[in-house]
Structure 1
Amino acid sequence: MPASPAESLAITYEAEEEVLVGRWRRNHSDPDLPEVFELLVEAALKAGHCRFWLLDLRERTWHPPTFQKWFDNLLSQQVVQVLGRPVFLACVATEQNRADIESIATQVRLRQQAQEEFYPYFFNNEGAARDWLLYHRQQEKA
């Protein structure tokens, strides 16, 4: 029996840093991805419309077509509508994913999402991802 999205993704809100953290514990079936989106948005709403997210993708298979579509469409278009603008998303991936992350297709996608004021950025180090989120949170408060 496949794991439910709630079993596959651990979601916590770190109030001191004002960051919503989603960590994949393991892969789950692609049809459940809309449920994962709902869990993340629900947690962000409960955390005062948190717009600073850290998404740990290191345990998730990188870029199956359905996951890429979910990431592009649901996150970039719906998250900003529900939570407000801008939304900053620091994604932590493995070093093996560097070629995908640095590809021209990913760079084009990032520019398109920036037009919606949705800013995903990829890291292979969680500390750097957190620093990036903290920087943007501080800039917004300045």
Structure 2
Amino acid sequence: MNMEIPAPLIDFTHRADLDILVSRWAYQPHPRELPAVYQQMTDVALHEKSRFWLQDIRRRTLNDPETTNWLLTTYFPTMARRLDGRLFVAYLVGPTLHNSIINQPDYVSAEAYDDKPFAISFFGDEGAAIRWLQIQQTNKAH
């Protein structure tokens, strides 16, 4: 009997040298998989006291609108409060998903988050995403 064991959906690494929580998604999740993943993300972020996240979602092909709404209205504001400071999330995306995200009618740029307890930005290059997070770290007074 040959049973395939599915690969983990997400891998978390806290880069202590950069003070960045890196989450690498292995595949496009089914929405029912997300609550457990976000609970795991919460646990890791709180344990590491990390407010600077790199989400590598290059292997994902779409964003679930309900999940996106929940992230923006509930999860990210709650995590910022629980981490005692502004949360910064850099998404590393592939070109197809990136185009899909930025061309949605409700897409907002990183600057639109200036009055929010969190900020999000999208990148096609990991180095640029890390640089953005490092800039936020030097400005973390706001």
Calculate the TM-score normalised by the size of structure 2: 0.82
User: 1:117/1:77 Cα in 2 relative to 1: closer, same or farther (>3 Å)?
Assistant: closer
Q: Which amino acid aligns with 1:21?
A: V
Matches of 2:75 and 2:69, distance apart in 1 = 9
Structure 1 unmatched ranges of 5 or more: none
Structure 1 match to 2:97? 97
TM superposition outliers: structure 1 runs of 4+ over 4 Å: 1-4
1:80 positional shift: 1.3
Structure 2 unmatched ranges of 5 or more: none
**Structure 1, residues 53-82: CA drift from partner, whole Å, max 9, x if none?**
000111122222343234323432321122
Superposition map of 1:43-62 within 5 A: 43-47=44-48, 49-62=49-62
Structure 1 match to 2:37? 36
Structure 2 match to 1:140? 140
Tell me if the contact between 2:61 and 2:96 (Cα under 8 Å) persists in the aligned partners. no
Q: Which amino acid aligns with 2:10?
A: L
* SS of the residue 2:90 aligns to: strand
* SS of the residue 2:42 aligns to: helix
1:23 positional shift: 0.5
Structure 2 match to 1:13? 14
Structure 2 match to 1:128? 128
Matches of 1:22 and 1:121, distance apart in 2 = 15
* SS of the residue 1:59 aligns to: coil
Q: CA RMSD in A?
A: 2.5
Structure 2 match to 1:78? 78
Larger radius of gyration: 2
Query: % of aligned pairs identical?
Result: 25
Q: How many residues align?
A: 137
Q: Which amino acid aligns with 1:105?
A: D
Matches of 1:139 and 1:77, distance apart in 2 = 19
Matches of 2:94 and 2:55, distance apart in 1 = 12
Matches of 1:90 and 1:59, distance apart in 2 = 15
Calculate the TM-score normalised by the size of structure 1: 0.82
